[in-house]
Amino acid sequence: HSGRVVAGVVGNKLPHFSIYGDAVNTASRMESTSEKMRIQCSDMAYRLLRDAPEYRFDLVERGGVDVKGKGRMNTWWIESARLGKGEASQPPERAPSASHLVVHSDLLDASRDGIQDDDSPTDVCISTV
């Protein structure tokens, strides 16, 4: 899925990077309707991937899926991806752990440098994912 989110390092004693927003909630709920070892995307993400100039994605329409809190959403399977006109790359044998969120170390370092003495969020940014 794609949409606006709020992201940043939250907390003083145990700071952690978090993202919040309707796009995050929608993606999480869509994940619960997916199949093992498959990548599912929304219509919004489909349009972005379809028009991506640097990459080519093999997208197959899955059809309507009932998503909690969102109703019926049209979704797509991402079958493979490739750079430009090269060969398609297939999904990995084993899916990466969903508990890992890869974040650029410079963003984390900058956020940690800005941590204040109170428990307020620091270095919050708005982004589109």
Q: pTM to 2 decimals?
A: 0.60
The residue annotated as part of the active site, out of 4, 38, 50, 68, is 68
Distance CA(23)–CA(67), nearest Å, equals: 13
The residue annotated as part of the active site, out of 29, 56, 62, 70, is 29
pLDDT in tens, the chain (129 residues): 888 889 899 888 989 999 999 998 998 898 888 898 899 999 999 998 888 878 888 999 998 989 888 899 999 999 988 887 655 555 555 544 433 334 344 444 544 455 444 444 444 444 444
| End-to-end C-alpha distance for the chain, whole angstroms | 8
Residue-wise pLDDT tens digits, 102-125: 434 444 454 445 544 444 444 444
Is 68 tagged catalytic? Answer: yes
Joined together, the tokens standing for residue 109 give 């370092």
Per DSSP, what are the bridge partners of residue 107?
Answer: none
Is 29 tagged catalytic? Answer: yes
Q: Please, are residues 53 and 38 in contact by the beta-carbon 8 Å criterion?
A: no
